[in-house]
Amino acid sequence: MLELVASGIENDRESDEVLPVSQNDLLARVAEGDKEAFGQLYDEIAPRVLGLIRRLLRDSAQSEEVAQEVFLEIWQTATRYDANKGGASTWILTMAHRRAVDRVRSSQSTRVRDTRIGIRDFPTEYDSVAESVEVRLESERVQQALLRLTELQRQAISLAYYGGYSNSEVAEMLKVPIGTVKTRLRDGMIRLRDELGVAS
C-alpha cells in the first residue's frame, strides 16, 4: 500500500516538471507583458544575439550597448511578431543584425565627418612671400590693362573702384551725366575683363 502511495506521489512530481517552452511561445507571452517569459527568452537567446553583434561591431562595449537596445526593442515590439512569418529566434537575430549594421554605418559616418572637420581645421602653411609676389604681379597686370582703356573709362573706374566714390559722386567730379558714368564703367569693365582674360 505504501508503495502505491509513493508511486502516486512520484507520478505527481513528474507531472509538475516544467516542460521546455518554445521561443515562439515565450515571445507570445512577452507580447502580453510577461516579465518572467522575457527573462527566460533573454537567458536563452542573449548569447547568440551578443555573438552576432560582436562579429559585426568588434567592440565589446558597443556590442553590449546594441544588445541592450535589441532587447528593449523586443520588449516594446513583441506584439508585432508574427509566428507565421518565421521563428522567434530568426525575428530577434534579424533585429540584432539590423541594429548592428545601423551602428556600423553611424560610426563610419561619424568618422568621415570628424575627418572632414579635422582636415578643414588643419592649418595650411601660409607663404607670405609667394602671396605678396602674386598680389604684386596681379596688380601690375591690372595696371597694364587699365592703360589700354580710354581716358574716360580709366578715370571712371579709378574713381569708382579705387577711390570708392559712388556713381553720382564720379559724375559730379567728372562733370558728366550719371548715365555717362554708368556707361563708361560698364564698357571699361568689359574691356578690362577681356584684357585680363577673365571669363564674364
Quick one: what percent of the chain has pLDDT higher than 90? 28
Same fold, 2-121 and 129-196: no
Distances in Å between the Cα of 121 and the Cα atoms of 74, 110, 117, 139, 198 are 43, 16, 6, 31, 31
Query: For the segment 12-37, what is each residue's pLDDT rounded down to a tens digit?
Result: 444 455 557 889 999 999 999 999 99
Query: What backbone phi and psi angles, to 5 degrees, belong to 35?
Result: -70, -35
Q: How far apart are CA 73 and CA 92, in angstroms?
A: 9
Query: CB neighbours (10 Å) of residue 179?
Result: 10
SS3 state of residue 139: helix
List, for residues 91-124, the tens digit of each pLDDT value.
999 999 999 888 888 877 777 777 777 666 666 5
Q: What is the pLDDT of residues 113-163, one digit of tens each?
A: 777 776 666 665 655 666 776 767 777 777 887 788 888 888 888 887 777
* CA–CA gap between residue 100 and residue 84 (Å, rounded): 25
Neighbours of 165 (CB within 10 A): 17
Element (H, E) at 101: helix 88-121
**Spelled out in words, what is the top-level CATH class assigned to the domain 129-196?**
mainly alpha
For residue 173, what pLDDT is reported?
83
- Give dist(CA 160, CA 150) in Å, integer: 15
- Cβ(170)–Cβ(156) under 8 Å? yes
What's the CA gap between 127 and 28, in Å, rounded? Answer: 71
What is the assigned CATH class of domain 2-121?
mainly alpha
Spatial distance between the Cα atoms of 46 and 96, rounded to a whole number of angstroms: 10
* pTM as predicted: 0.48
Average pLDDT of the chain, as a whole number: 80
Domain segments of the chain as ranges: 2-121, 129-196
